[in-house]
A and B are shown apart, each in its own frame.
Chain A
Amino acid sequence: MANIPENLQYSKDHEWIGVEGDIGTIGITDHAQHSLGDVVYVELPKVGETFEAHESFGSVESVKAVSEIFTPVGGEVTEVNEALQDEPEKVNTDPYKEGWMIRIRMKNPGEVDSLLTAAEYEDFTKAETE
């Protein structure tokens, strides 16, 4: 069973976001890390860069594939998970905690409302794999 925490919101690109005030913490879902396989490298932006919602902010690499990662919401990057440079495998082992990727100051926190809930995301992934 895929692990889909209740307290997060999800995008159809398989990213999750956890919100505290106007700061969103973003990573990729358990489902996403499963289909990627062993993550060997994560390319992340610099603090201060800004992105629109659904824009690519970096990429995740496995041994034989590269996938772009998209931010579910727009805003400015306030923090980057530097630990992933040395231990990209955290994306596999702990995608929702130690495997987080960036924190973003949301330009329009309302964008979160259009994302999927845990239950909706579960249905979405089920439909996708069928």
Chain B
Amino acid sequence: MFAYYLQLGLRSLRRNPMLTALMVMAIGFGVSASMITYSVFRAVSGNPIPEKSSQLFVPQIDSWGPGLNEKGEPPGALNYVDAMALMRAHQSSRMTLIYQIVLSTLPRDADSVPVSSTGYAVTADFFTMFDVPFAYGAGWSNADDDARAGDVVLSQEFNQRLFGGANSVGQKITLSGHDYRIVGVTKHWNPAPRFYDAWGGSGFGNPPDFYLALNRALDLKIDNAGRNSCRGAITYNGWDQYLQSNCIWLMPWVELDTSSDVERYHRFLESYSADQQHAGRFGWAPNVRLPDVMKWLDVEKIVPPESRISLIVALSFFVICLVNTIGLLLAKFMRRAGEIGVRRALGATRHEIYAQYLVEAAAVGLAGGFIGLLLTAVGMSGVGVLFAPDIARLAHLDFSLIGLTLALAIFATVAAAFYPAWRAAQVQPAWQLKSN
């Protein structure tokens, strides 16, 4: 029966080529606009570390107090004093501190000029907490951190540029005039959004070049090249005073495995803040937060508003296209009221009429889906016009998107056809083709 309905549907679609083309184009445009914007939205709003996102948390401590904090919320990073206190407390199974640095690399031939390289100063747990994949070697140990060792892990891309992709573990590398020991080389790893630097960066960008042992970086007074935020009158003068200031710039992450661990850590943050209050360092009651990865990305508004607005506009556009399709399908089906009457008289049940028209709509949807797929593919190349290059390159047409495009087109068109098909099925049986 399905084949018969399909045959009837296709014949009917051929009979009004303009009307059919109009519907197919409307569905195609609507579906492709939605898919293009969705592909970007999917890329920017996705979970960058799905297997662990609910075990990784940002400990937030209000070190600024009422009137200076973020409208009552604690700031998004830690100052040096609080960061080091949390590190020393060892209240979580793992913890890391992160700040962004920019260093120079001097290629080994003498005439060349130095090249800027960007990376993060991190502590040992960074690699295990975030499941960083390694091509060669591994991260350094907590003991290395305690020994303030000059260890560095290179990214695959940086290792490719400097060592042609060879195993460089054990070699020395000079960055901004200081020597470091390479202990590991990662495989390609660039979570999008870059959740661990969501406070400091845009969340999207090229993978970093290296990860450097944080204690050594601090010893060498390597300045923070990322975000820095201070409150009140700035009176520090020099690096050591800067470390004692209220400026926040160190990004903390902790790993907590169970909900009781989370509760316990939250209590710890409160008691730490209370201690600071008693010691007179904080003049306010404890104000702490402990968001996990997805909550943190939400707090940091990592999804660009452009992406959200364009998705909403595109979806509304699709809805209008569907309203358009409902109207046109209604016109198309009801024009054949006479034919329906005769079919009913010849024994077709309501149900069969219904099915026949839904199949016809599905055919329209499928055609619309293919047009939509074509337009989506074209539109993907134009995404760069809409979004910053960092974000635009995240959008791509993969199998799941192709499947989704076709499924959405067919599903939406069939849904749009319900009312017109229902109207068609209401036509009374009649012996003659009577026009009204």
Q: Do the two shown chains form a genuine complex with each other?
A: no
